[in-house]
Amino acid sequence: MKKNFILLLVTMCVFALSSCGSDEPSNPINPSPKDPSTNTTDVAVSGTVEETGAFHAVINGVVNLDAITASYSSVEIGVEWSNSDLFSTKQRVEASGVTGRKFRVRVIPLLPNTKYYYRTYVSISSLSYDYYGETYSLTTKNMTESDKIVDLGLPSGTLWAAMNVGANSIEGYGDYFAWGETSPKSSYTSYNYMGNDITSAELPAGRDAATANWGSDWRMPSLDQIKELIRECNWQWATLNGINGRLATSKRNSNFIFLPAAGFRLGASLNGAGSYGYYWSSTRYDVDDGLAFDSDGVRYGSYFGIRYNGLSVRAVRVSKN
C-alpha cells in the first residue's frame, strides 16, 4: 500500500508539473524513435546541443523537479548517450549542478564524424526508477590537424598528442617500440634489441620514436612531464569504441586525452591489451620509468621490466607553432 501511494504521489507531481508548462528548448535536433520500454515524462526534458567538436559535445538540459526533489533526497540528473537509438549500450554523465531547472554537461569521449543519440535522465535511487526525456541525435565533427594537439593547460606548457604514435584514431593502440628504437617490429627480444648503446640520461632525438615518426616538433615525454600529467589530471577508467583505457581530463580546463590500454609486446606476443597500459618515457634511470595504468589506478615507475619490450608511445611538444 505504501509503495502504491508513493508511485501515485510521483504521478500526481508529474501531472502538476506538466500542466504548468515546461522549459523545453526550442529547435530540437533530429528527433529519433524512443525505446518504448522507457519512462518518458515531463520530469526530464532533453535539451539542445550547444557545441560539438571531434571528440566532445556540450548539451543543455532541462528538468522539472520541483515536487520530486521536495519528496526525495537522492536524485541524480544528467545525460546519457549511445550509438543506438534504443540505448542497448550507453554511457552517462551526471550534471555537477542544476541552476533552477536547467543544467549543462560536457559529454566525453566521443569519436569524430560519428552519430550519437542522447537524452536527459532523472534517476531516483530510492524508487529504483529513471525518467527519460525525448531522444535526439547529434553528429560530431571531422577531426582536423589541430585536434591532434591537446592543450591541457599544464604549468609547463607541454602539449600532448591526442593519439598514440602509429595510431589513426584516439582509441587506436598504434605501434609498439623498444626503448631507443624508432620502428616497430614483429618480435621484441634481447637478441634483436638495438638500444644497448644509449648511455645518455635522455634519449637523443635520432633515437626518439616520436621524433623519428612525427618530426622534430615531437618527442617522447620526460618522466617529469609524465608526473605532471598524472598530477594535473583527473583519471577515469573508460571504454571508447569498445577499447578500454584511461581518460585524463585536465583539472585546469575541460580538455582531455584518452590513453588506450594497449598492453605490451614481448617476443611475438601481445600481452595485457585491454587491461594494462604502458607508455615509455624518454628519461633513462637505473630502472625503466614511464607511465603505467590499469582499472585500479595510474602510476609511474619501473613497471615495464626490460627495455627491449615493445611499449606504446604518446608524443608531446612544447609549442603549437
Give 109-130 pLDDT, tens digit per residue: 999 999 999 998 888 877 777 8
Greater model confidence, 313 or 304: 313
Rounded distance between C-alpha atoms, residue 46 and residue 121, angstroms: 8
pLDDT of residue 184: 98
Rounded distance between C-alpha atoms, residue 260 and residue 164, angstroms: 9
Give 162-220 pLDDT, tens digit per residue: 999 999 999 999 999 999 999 999 999 999 999 999 988 889 999 999 999 999 999 99
Rounded distance between C-alpha atoms, residue 127 and residue 52, angstroms: 34
DSSP 8-state assignment for residue 275: T
Give 254-311 pLDDT, tens digit per residue: 899 999 999 999 999 999 999 999 999 998 765 557 899 999 999 987 555 588 999 9
CATH code assigned to 2-139? 2.60.40.10
Domain ranges of the chain: 2-139, 146-317
Give 91-114 pLDDT, tens digit per residue: 999 988 676 678 899 999 999 999
Backbone torsions φ then ψ of 308, nearest 5 degrees: -85, -5
pLDDT of residue 124: 81
Q: Which amino acid is at 133?
A: G
For the stretch 260-263, contacts whose Cβ atoms lie closer than 8 Å and that sit 24 or more positions apart, written own/partner, are: 260/164, 260/171, 260/172, 260/173, 260/312, 261/293, 261/294, 262/164, 262/173, 262/174, 262/176, 262/312
DSSP result, 206-219: GG-HHHHHH-TT-B
* R_g of the chain, CA atoms, integer Å: 24
CB count, 10 Å around CB of 92? 14
